Amino acid sequence: MSDQYIKADQPIEAERPAYQSAPVYIDTTATIPASVKVSPFCVIQAHVTLGDQVTLGVGCVIEEGAVIGAGTSLGHHVTVAAGAILGEGCQIAAHVSIGSEARIGARTRIGEHAAIYPRAVLGEEGFIGSSASVGRFPKAAATSTVKAQTDLSPLKMGNGYTIGCSAVLYAGTTYGEQAFLGDGALVRERCTIGKNVVIGSGAAVENDTRIGDYTKIQTGSYITAYMELEERVFIAPMVTTTNDNYMGRTEKRFKSIKGPTICRGARIGGGSILLPGIRVAPETFVAAGALVTKDTGAKRVVKGFPAKELREVPEEELLQEE
């Protein structure tokens, strides 16, 4: 290994004379085409491969074995850890950290100060807002029913996703294509999120939960652990779901913790509360502010505190059969 200003496939000193005196470290084993633009104070370690027209801002660190696709642009002080792969045409803003062996699909845009954790797999055509944390590993409290798992699979995200600013997404969860997560959304580990799912700003989805295709969860709602939302469910703002009838007391709770099951096409009104283990039947309409304490009937409107059946859901509001 040796210090040098620029290493390229062909001489480039004449093209970029301003860099001739800049402190840059490039390992001799790195592969860097002449069209690459390297700013001062960059470090490019062994066996790195950069594609044509890559641009590195000031102070970037590209660790051993990383690959950056053609046309990708890195802002100032970006770190790409060992073995990470970035696809073609990505735009990475300043102070982003990309973990070891992460996979970033082509034409992804990442905002400032975002963190992509090791081994995360992100599809193409994605957007990640500033200060988001994607693929982080959980740390449970000593008294939590959820125990730390050291062998979680990496986060996997389908194509065309949007992740808002300051969202926090844990490892061990998979997302279908076109997922949308609003600013400040939280999704815990071991969840399965379908395609075209919307999880609104400030909403929280706890661990071990399944969310079906085209389901929408609005701002500030709380989706508890160990529950299921089937396809095309609608959750209005500030809905609360629960899973522990013992509220943290007795050893019995560990065997009986279970969130609600919300079946296909059900709609849950703003501010509603769903108690542990209940089943909201297909096409149920839960009115705003209801307290749902027991299973509901299919295609029925329920309202009240506690909720009671009121009438049938109008035919014109029902989903068409697939």
CATH of the domain at 258: 2.160.10.10
What residues pair up with 248 in beta bridges, in sequence order? none
- What does the alpha-carbon distance between residue 74 and residue 64 come to, in Å, rounded to a whole number? 17
Asked whether residue 273 is assigned to any structural domain, the reply reads: yes
Q: Which residues, given as ranges, of the chain have pLDDT below 50?
A: 1-20
Structure-block tokens of residue 68? 């950056």
The H or E element spanning position 295 is none
Tokens of 177: 């294509």
The reported pLDDT for the residue numbered 245 is: 72
Number of domains in the chain: 1
Task: Report whether 65 contacts 44 (CB < 8 A).
Answer: no
236 assigned to some structural domain:
yes
Task: Confirm whether 280 is domain-assigned.
Answer: yes
The parent domain of residue 262 ranges over 221-322
* 22 is a domain residue: no
Q: Is 244 a member of any domain?
A: yes
Q: 182 near 203, Cβ under 8 Å? A: yes
| Exposure on the CB side of residue 226, measured as CA atoms within 13 A | 16
Cross-strand pairs, 279: 261
Residue 8 lies in a domain: no
* 164 domain residue, yes or no: no
Q: Which residue in this structure is represented by tokens 């997404």?
A: 169
